[in-house]
Structure 1
Amino acid sequence: MDGRTSDRRQYALLWIIGAFSAMLRSMKTQTIEIDDVTANALRQRADERGVSVPELLAELLVLEAGSVRADSDEIAELDRRWKAFEAQKSVASNDEVVRWLETWGTPAFRNWRDR
């Protein structure tokens, strides 16, 4: 597996984990009884990762589910966008974009490329 495939897989997993965690937060909760040793281990592991125990369990479920398959058209589109991004001459800072946006509707406005 090359670096790009690994990065894509990791990105997909992180997105799924985030989406699953968001759904989990909005769901009704249930109490499950577990022994103290397991509860403490889960809390410690969650603290180490900076997440809640339910979020940790959601991550574990996603990882257990296995890898995510991406459609070849989706991969091609991501590759196209990445190549377009790499082809840019420079990357603008957030402050530069904010200053440019503040000129919209004023005589000082210039096209982004002409700024």
Structure 2
Amino acid sequence: MRLRTLRQPRDRQDRPRWPQPTVHAQLRILRRTHVAIITSPADLGTYGAVDCGLYIETFLLAAQERGLAAAPQAAAAAYSPFLHEHFGIDDDRAVIAAICFGYPDRDAP
């Protein structure tokens, strides 16, 4: 799994923008935001997705224990081509979800 800050491409019209409005709202709530793209071997199908769900649950609990806020986004899988290109994910991997995480901004509305 690669962890890297997701930066919204703003100037270039030829690059896709991060399309999920709820993700934008969650990114604003977190400062020093990072994203974990959760993938599974595509040939595992539903079994891989179930395993990833268990991993996501553990990730969220561990993040909370360490004072981090985290927001899982299963809708990110709908933008798999963009995520594959942006993060260099191999074609034999299925995007299951994304988790935005970082230190919470307590002053955010």
Q: TM-score, with normalisation over the residues of structure 1?
A: 0.25
Greater per-residue helix proportion: 1
Q: TM-score, with normalisation over the residues of structure 2?
A: 0.26
Greater per-residue strand proportion: 2
Task: Select the structure of larger CA radius of gyration.
Answer: 1
